[in-house]
Structure 1
């Protein structure tokens, strides 16, 4: 029975495979110290986290990655051959379009479906500086020319066959990082030891930062508490002054009412006096004058209470 072929990968899924592969291979802590089975298992896990596609297996992801590498390696060879011509007036986009045309002429397939993957892998160090055999390529030394001899000519870039730039399609191990031709030398990421040292220094720095932050927070809290206490004391002082003022005002009002009450009682006693029994003319004149003043006062008062309390004469 023929095995059924799975659903084709979409361009977005191809790009997710590239990102997952680079994420695992460029891990500076684990790096190359991982077996093949564990490597592809981690790649599959990364792919599933990025796409939520749980239908794929490790074998399908690995096979698809090898196909992506084959296409991108072929395209890179085409692009390098175009760039080697160094034609005047050519832009990078012109070279890119010409490389895609060369790719189609060589393979009979369009490279358009791999544009996203190429954009991801183009500058990936782990993918660029690996040979098809999984070993880094050493720059070949120039041939030793015997003294007194010279070559009749030097080959131009246009005379170099394009197959010189193409990569071979060979399966690689996870430690090699994939297949591919050699690109210009780039600065590689630090190794495991350097990554661990950076991680340790980062933790020490985090502890120092946390300690400084705690000290700053403690200082800010102390300043804030002192300011709060000063505000509370000031509020209490103001409240005490307000209470004292209220008490003084109440005491003043009470004394005024007491004085008014006493004056009222005295005025009422004077108004109730029988002046006919007073024999002393001066004393009689005094109380007559007082009664007249009291009557005038009551008459000019704005309160009607006095009138209601007047005795009958």
Structure 2
């Protein structure tokens, strides 16, 4: 019964989920457009939304993401301290790989375990706000205050976090912070004013690009319409030539039929002409013509075009 009352532990976080948490935290914390003084709940709500967007999954709760970030931050802060100690020794002729190796060994000596978030450190080491937080700083960074899993806001002012570079005491313009507190690994993110100016410039550029795109689409539509009308005119010319050709053929056929009809009419007249009253020469002429016509009929009697001369149409 006692075991059944315990909260069931969720599945372990994957490397991809850890990296998504770190990317989301860096993305939201470095957003200069929003600026500073956003509430703790709103800040973490945005981180959770970005995490779900990166993972395309909402199986993790916001509370679990915050808890996991607390663990990542705690271990990474300790590793950052070990790395700073090794860097401050300024050993000659040592490579960055050797510095990382010595920092891992120092971390193992202090914590009695290996540094398990090297995949997160590759993302966090270039974040300017993360670089500002070192064990040697004399000024407490406000950006990390609400992120500690053991901390809670004691007053309404503590319920806000600063995301502005120029007003944060943890940034490199603080005279009490030494040069070693801001590493050369990254550069300061853009300030709120510069970011807003860039944002509006981008809006103007996007509007101009959109306008040019619209004009280009309109011009392309005009060209397409013009080409379509040209094709239609060409098609009409082709159809007109075809119709003219068909008319010429019909006219030719009509002429042939007309000639045949005239010839049949003439042959019928000759074959049916009474020559009894004609003189000797005319009788001979018509007799010859009748013989020619009859011979033609006889030779064509088996032809599909054979015809008997019919009386002409009245």
TM-score scaled to structure 2, two decimals? 0.72
Q: 1:3 to 1:235 in 2, by over 3 A?
A: closer
Cα deviation per residue 1:26-72 (whole Å; 9 max; x = unaligned)? 111113231233323333443444454555454x5444323322211
Is 1:27 aligned with 2:31?
yes
Aligned pairs for 1:142-221 (under 5 A) are: 174-175=161-162, 182-185=181-184, 186-221=186-221
**Alignment-derived partner of residue 292 in structure 1:** 291
- RMSD (Å), alpha carbons: 3.7
Is 1:105 aligned with 2:109?
yes
**Alignment-derived partner of residue 174 in structure 2:** none
- Structure 2: state its 5+ residue gaps: 144-148, 153-157, 172-179
Shift of 1:25: 0.5
Report the Cα distance in structure 2 between the residues aligned to 1:62 and 1:73, rounded to whole angstroms: 16
Cα deviation per residue 1:204-226 (whole Å; 9 max; x = unaligned)? 11221222222222222223323
Shift of 1:263: 0.7
Contact 1:66 1:171 (8 Å CA) reproduced = no
Contact 2:32 2:163 (8 Å CA) reproduced = no
Out of 115, 118, 122, the position equivalent to 2:121 is: 118
Q: Report 1 or 2 for greater relative contact order, CA contacts < 8 Å, sequence distance ≥ 6.
A: 1
- Structure 1: state its 5+ residue gaps: 137-168
Contact 1:298 1:306 (8 Å CA) reproduced = no
Report the Cα distance in structure 2 between the residues aligned to 1:278 and 1:306, rounded to whole angstroms: 35
Q: 1:227 to 1:306 in 2, by over 3 A?
A: closer
Is 1:280 aligned with 2:279?
yes
Matched position secondary structure for 1:118: helix
Aligned pairs for 1:11-50 (under 5 A) are: 11-12=14-15, 13-50=17-54
Out of 111, 134, 146, the position equivalent to 2:141 is: 134
Matched position secondary structure for 2:141: coil
Contact 2:125 2:131 (8 Å CA) reproduced = yes
Is 1:304 aligned with 2:308?
no
Report the Cα distance in structure 2 between the residues aligned to 1:75 and 1:28, rounded to whole angstroms: 28
Report the Cα distance in structure 2 between the residues aligned to 1:306 and 1:17, rounded to whole angstroms: 97
Q: 1:4 to 1:234 in 2, by over 3 A?
A: closer
Report the Cα distance in structure 2 between the residues aligned to 1:244 and 1:40, rounded to whole angstroms: 81
Contact 1:72 1:118 (8 Å CA) reproduced = yes
Q: 1:283 to 1:57 in 2, by over 3 A?
A: closer
Matched position secondary structure for 2:35: coil
Shift of 1:108: 0.3
Contact 1:25 1:32 (8 Å CA) reproduced = no
Matched position secondary structure for 2:181: coil
**More moved, 47-56 vs 181-190:** 47-56
Contact 1:79 1:96 (8 Å CA) reproduced = yes
Report the Cα distance in structure 2 between the residues aligned to 1:44 and 1:215, rounded to whole angstroms: 41
Report the Cα distance in structure 2 between the residues aligned to 1:243 and 1:48, rounded to whole angstroms: 69
Shift of 1:307: 5.0
Report the Cα distance in structure 2 between the residues aligned to 1:101 and 1:175, rounded to whole angstroms: 34
